[in-house]
Structure 1
Amino acid sequence: MTAIKFLKRPNSGLARGALGLFALSAAALALWQAPALSAEEAVKIPPPAIDEKASSGTETAVLAGGCFWGVQGVFQHVDGVSDAVSGYTGGAKDDAEYETVGTGRTGHAESVKITYDPAKVTYGKLLQIYFSVAHNPTELNYQGPDYGTQYRSTIFAANDEQKKIAEAYIAQLGKGRLFGEPIVTTIETGKTFYPAEAYHQDFLTLNPTYPYIVYNDLPKVAALKRLFPNLYRDKPVLVMAQNKS
């Protein structure tokens, strides 16, 4: 069973055909209990000591922490988030394409652009979820079975305030030694986000029996519900629903 952790995620060709093959394993996967599948254990951590003020309107945050399927899936279940889009950040526009990013030579990281209401969930609270359940911030240039700089742990700060909050929170968590290993999350500024291909959007919701999702990502959503019950929303906000509206 452990070998399922290392199944390679599909490229565009596989995404068009291999999902049906992997779906054959759904019956076997159903025998497992989701809480026992966590490839990256959630960590209960305190909120940031420094945060933005709750205000009306919308803000955006761009976060990278391994495969964007799971990161997107987590934040789509956060109350106050109105949109969460998988994409690429850190490199050039011409290189913002899955197979090219997968070479690890583009400077891009698989990332998620989150649109949120600061009156309901602040930037600092998003970072708390990011560090706690969305990924493991102690893994340098990899997350679980995925290796390469495209899977790095990075906060793409949109402005000086976001950068200040992120820096302070990383220092706070590092001082508290809550993870057992040093936090390797970096902060990058001045980078452009490019949306990923349509077949990557809403992947967790659309493919709940896909082995990679079952093993690596569904436990993250379960951890969000357990650790952040006041922010958890059962019905995710989906990209496809946004496009249809």
Structure 2
Amino acid sequence: MFHAVPAVAADQAVRVPAPALDMPGAARTTETAVFAGGCFWGVQGVFQHVKGVKSAVSGYAGGPVAKANYDAVSGGDTGHAESVQVTYDPRVVSYGRLLQIYFSVVADPTTLNYQGPDHGSQYRTAFFPQSEDQRRVAIAYIAQLERAHIWGRPIVTRIEPARGFYPAEAHHQDYLYRNPRVPYIAINDMPKVEALKRLFPQDWQVKPVLVGA
């Protein structure tokens, strides 16, 4: 994860249309979503600044193994993807809005098993719906964006079963916040955070929600 090639260039970030289908009215104050979008440092860093997000934890999802760790997942053979578990208040931000932010600034959904300098199935773009409602919204939204031909290439983001989420090691948590000047972060991920602030000002929160807090 230390190549100086941006995953999503700052000038490529674009606010895509909001989903036509979103989750039904909030019946609870807390919901959970799991997203994979390449290296989890940047994915976590973006969602930590979204208003209504209560926590964003880097980890591993999608693999059948009951335990996952960075060394094993980095080999690309466990079936896991670097992912982020987002806990949010659906009265403040909806699942559909989180998907809109994801497609706008987090990841390029047209690259198969890689994002920028990071290659392998562990860097795939994927959603792991935590409910049938989330699954329906994600399927409908991908179809909507495909019809809009925003990228000019097919969307390869996968919708996968929720097989469990395994938090990453402590030194991977809040990595962007703790290391904003590390070249990988400065080149690949800080532009995503800036794009969130620019494209979604109403959803921007200055103070990130940190795992370490």
TM-score category of the 2 structures, normalised to the smaller one = over 0.9
Q: Which has the higher helix share?
A: 1
| Alpha-carbon separation, structure 2, partners of 1:40 and 1:156 | 28
Post-superposition shift, 1:112?
A: 0.1
Q: CA offset at residue 39 of structure 1?
A: 6.5
Q: Which is greater in Rg? A: 1
Show the counterpart of 1:72: 44
Superposition pairs of residues 1-245 of structure 1, within 5 angstroms: 4-5=4-5, 38=9, 41-55=12-26, 56-91=28-63, 92-94=65-67, 96-241=68-213
Residue type matched to 1:46 in 2? P
After superposition, what is the alpha-carbon deviation per residue over 1:169-194, rounded to whole angstroms, capped at 9, x for unaligned?
00000000011211000101131000
Alpha-carbon separation, structure 2, partners of 1:101 and 1:176: 34
**1:148, distance to aligned residue in structure 2 (A):** 0.2
Amino acid at match of 1:50: L
- Give the distance between the partners of 1:100 and 1:192, measured in 2 at CA: 16
Give me the whole-angstrom Cα distance separating, in 2, the residues matched to 1:39 and 1:121: 24
Letter in 2 for 1:41: Q
Alignment check: 8 A CA contact 1:48 1:128 kept = yes
Identify which range, 162-171 or 38-47, moves more after superposition: 38-47
TM-score by length of 2: 0.94
Q: Secondary structure at the match of 1:5?
A: coil
CA deviation digits over 1:188-230, x for unaligned, max 9?
A: 1131000000000000000010000000000000000011000
Deviates more, 1:53-62 or 1:191-200: 53-62
Give the root-mean-square deviation of aligned CA atoms.
1.4
The letter of the residue matching 1:84 is A
How far off is 1:237 after superposition?
Answer: 0.4
SS at match of 2:202: coil
8 Å CA contact 1:39–1:215 kept in 2: the answer is no
Q: Distance in 2 between matches of 1:195 and 1:39?
A: 29
Question: Hey, what's the Cα distance between the residues in 2 that align with 1:154 and 1:44?
Answer: 19
Q: What is the CA-CA distance between 1:159 and the residue it aligns to?
A: 1.4
Distance 1:174 1:39 in 2: 22
- What is the match of residue 16 of structure 1? none
**Cα distance in 1 for residues equivalent to 2:138 and 2:10:** 25
Residue identity opposite 2:37 in structure 1: G
Aligned residues: 208
SS at the partner of 2:35? strand
Amino acid at match of 1:171: A
The one-letter code of the counterpart of 1:93 is A
